[in-house]
Structures are given as C-alpha cells and as structure tokens.
Amino acid sequence: MGDVIVAGGGPTGLMLAAELRLRGVDVLVLERDVEPNPRVRALGLHVRSIEVMAQRGLLERFLEAGTQYPLRGFFAGINKAAPERLDTAHGYVLGIQQPVVERLLTEHATEVGVRIRRGVELVGLSQDDDGVSAELADGTQLRARFLVGCDGGRSTVRKLLGVGFPGEPSRVDTLLGEMEIGVAPEELTEVMTRVRETERRFGIGPFGDAYRVVVPAAGVAQDRSVPPTLEEFKRQLVAVAGTDFGVHSPRWLSRFGDATRLAERYRSGRVLLAGDAAHIHPPVGGQGLNLGIQDAFNLGWKLAAEVAGWAPPDLLDSYHGERHPVAAAVLDNTRAQMELLSTEPGPRAVRGLLAELVEFEEVNRYLIEKITAIGVRYDFGTGHELLGRRLRDLSLKRGRLYDLTHNGRGLLLDQTGGLSVAGWSDRVDHIVDISEELNAPAVLLRPDGHVAWVGDTQTDLHTHLPRWFGAAA
C-alpha cells in the first residue's frame, strides 16, 4: 500500500505531490490526459505563488521561463500602480503560461521522486479505517493511506465522495482561443480601444506567433466541454466589435463560464480536495491557478506529518479550517469583479466610484494584497501582528530567509540567540541571525512560511511547538 494517491496532474496536483515527496512520502499522481494540455488557461503567477516558488528553491527556473511585469492593481480591470513598500521582496507579476508552469512543476516533482502515470482515469473509490481503494477505468485497483482529488472543477473524486458543491451556475459564457487575424495592427488597436470602453470581457492581443482572442458568448452552453467553432467566434466578434478581424487558422478554441462554487468540506475521512476540485470561480484577477498552488502548499506538509505519524491532533483538519475561508473570500471578490465588468449603467457607475476610491493608497493596497494573496492571515488566535501571516523574504546577515526554507521544514528565526528547538530538531531548523527588517525577537515559521509564534522566552516557545509540530522526540 502506498502513502498518497494524487488524482490530477495539473499545477495543484504536481505541487502537492512534490511537497509530499520532499518529506519522504511515497506519492503516485494519476492523470487522465495522455499528453499535457496545450491550452493556455492561466497567464501568470501572483506574488504569493512567486514566494512559494522561492521558498522551495524553484524561482530561478520560473523566472528564466517567464517575464516579470511591474505589479499593478487590476481589480475588475481598474489599472493602478502598486503602492510603495508593499509587504514582499517579490513585488512583480510573473507572466508565464499554464503549460509552462505544468512543465516546470512536472520536472520538479520528477526530480524529488514523484511517480506520475498519464492516460489513467479514476472511476471509483472507497475508504476504510486503514486507507483508500481507487478503481481505474481499466479495472485496476490501487490502494493508499490517503487520496487527494486535484482533478478540476468537474472533479470525479468530489462527486464520488458526495461532497456538496453549492454556489451559482454560469450566467454568462466567454469564448477563448488562439488564432491568426487578418487585419492590420493599427485597425485592431483602434477597434479594441473603442469596444473596451464599455465591454471589458473583450480582448485580442499577440500571443506567441498568433493572437489570443476573448469575446463574450451569445448564451450559456449546455455542455461547456464542447469547444466552440471558428464560425461561432466570428459571429460573436461581429456582434461585439462590428468586425470578425478576419480571424482564421485557430490553434485551439474553448469556452468558460462564470459559475462560482465552493465545496462544503475539503476533507472526508482519508480523502481530501484541493484546487478547482474544491472551488471554481470566474477567471477575473487571474487567481485560480494561484489559489490551487497555495492550497497544495498548505496541505502538503500537514498530510506528510500525518503519514509520518508526528502530526498533532487536528493538524490535518486545519487545512479545511484555513483554506476554505480563503477560497470563500476569492469567490466573493470574483463575484464583485464580474458585477463591475457589466455593461449595465448601475455597475458601470459603481466601477467609476471604485476607480476614484483606488486613488487612496490604503484602498489600492488592500485590493492588491487581496488579489496577490499576501494579505491572507490564518486565525491563530490573538497576539503579535505577524501571527498567522506569511513572513516575507527577509534580508538576513547570512543571505535571504527563503534560501533557508528549501527543505520544507519548520524554522525558528532567533534574533536572541538564547532559544532552542531541542526535541523538535528533526522537524524544525534553528537559525540564529539578525534582520533589520524583522521587528520581533524570534519567530517560529511553519513549513508553509506562516508565523506560528512570536516571542523571546523558551517556556512560551515550548507551549507552541507541539501545536504545529507534535510531541517532542
């Protein structure tokens, strides 16, 4: 019997599998598609996901494959420069296409020893007190101690579990594709500028050796898995922009809706959900892929601790307790953004008012922190202002903080030099160093970089270590 089966080999599943394997967990990833999906759904990484890559020593390879852009606020497409002194050492957006993200995460997962099987579809599962049995489409039976569904918005795992997925169905569809155009760039720019004054869901831009085309659909499709035709694209372009731009030679075509749903629970016994299997929402703000990667980063070390046997009670349940509210907040902000993208007079008036409010620095900062996820704070109780927040990539005397977190362990950053993690040194690193950027005597970081304790006394530290890292060895 293996340790963990991950159903779904997209960014969430690959990130989770690598996090588990980093801690010695035996992991098998099952992916239905024989070949990686070439469709470019997501276009980049936000600050918190960039920090995640830095925490695991992956950032350089991502930077080499992507393009850094200045960080700007674009809540509902309201373009505003980021405020100064944002709480991060990585204040930029990384433009990188989803297939590239998947390729890099596949390489990383393979390097750390994750087993990946493609062309394999999970069709059934059952669980007992000892583990989970997974049935594949070819009749094969697999067995593991835990199973995690990272298999997308139409998640088979979630449906087999019978976990509720309440929310709202799609009200509008949008067509998306890559193709060539038959008009001059000047004409394209002129029409784009005019149409986008009122229709923010429309856009055409260069994309590799072709163009990426986004246009509102005429209605809501009964089966969104059926791609639109080029003729449908042309009709909608004419309806919205007055011209079809001479589009031709499509690379791929797809459609997506604005359904907004959140799983009632992220854990059912030995089966858990992450990424789009747990939550779906419109793509405004570019948060979907990032939210899934951050789910995996939260879950990985907790599930590994459960497998290893040192997890304190309720640690694995804290995955739902922490990430479910984060997803609920993302769903709400995408609902708000979709309203502000409406062409109706009321939403347009509210959008204009918000554009005025964003001129206030604190409003701008609040919205940017929300979209980039650096404003997330888990509820660890009352205490220091850092408690529950992730700690940015501080500059230390010996280098940078994130360079010390590549192994995925906990970390005590001790500016006093008088503390100890004796009894937990197999799970927590003790670093004595000074940072002019840290206004605290010492901080205890969980493996996901969130601050679990702030203080300066050994007695107080000893009351908090067991909460996150179990009993002393």
Cα 170 to Cα 282: distance, rounded to the nearest angstrom: 9
pLDDT the model gives residue 218: 86
What pLDDT score was predicted for residue 438? 96
- Give CATH for domain 2-166+261-372: 3.50.50.60
- Spatial separation of the C-alpha atoms in residues 64 and 68, rounded to whole Å: 10
Residue 349 DSSP SS3: helix
Per-residue pLDDT in tens (0 to 9) along the chain, 473 residues: 899 999 999 999 999 999 999 999 999 999 999 888 888 788 899 999 999 999 999 999 999 999 999 998 888 888 888 888 899 999 999 999 999 999 999 999 999 999 999 999 999 999 999 999 999 999 999 999 999 999 999 999 999 999 999 999 998 899 999 999 999 999 999 999 999 888 888 989 888 888 999 999 988 887 777 889 999 999 999 999 999 999 999 999 998 888 999 999 999 999 999 999 999 999 888 899 999 999 999 999 999 999 999 999 999 999 999 999 999 999 999 999 999 988 889 999 999 999 999 999 999 999 999 999 999 999 999 999 999 999 999 999 999 999 999 999 999 999 999 999 999 999 999 999 999 999 999 999 999 999 999 999 999 999 999 999 999 98
- According to the model, what pLDDT value does residue 73 have? 82
Helix, strand, coil share of the chain (percent; to 5): 35, 25, 40
Contact 217, 227 (CB under 8 A): no
* CATH number 3.40.50.720 given to 395-469: no
Residue 425 has a CB neighbour count (10 Å cut-off) of: 14
Q: 175-257 is classed in which CATH architecture?
A: 2-Layer Sandwich (3.30)
The residue ranges of every structural domain in the chain are 2-166+261-372, 175-257, 395-469
pLDDT in the model for residue 436: 94
Interaxial angle between packed helices 230-241 and 185-195, expressed in degrees from 0 to 180 and rounded to the nearest 10:
60
- pLDDT of 220: 85
Q: What's the farthest any 2 CA atoms get from each other in the chain?
A: 72
Residues 420, 438, 46, 354, CA torsion sign: positive
Backbone angles phi, psi at 275, to 5 degrees: 70, -150
Q: What is the pLDDT of residue 308?
A: 97
Rounded distance between C-alpha atoms, residue 96 and residue 67, angstroms: 7
The b-or-e profile of 177-193 (16+ CB within 10 A means b, else e) is: bbbebeeeeeebeebbe
Burial group, residue 220, by CB count within 10 angstroms (0-12, 13-18, 19+): middle
Length of the chain: 473
User: Would you state the pLDDT for residue 15?
Assistant: 98
User: Which pLDDT does position 459 carry in this prediction?
Assistant: 96
* pLDDT for residue 360: 94
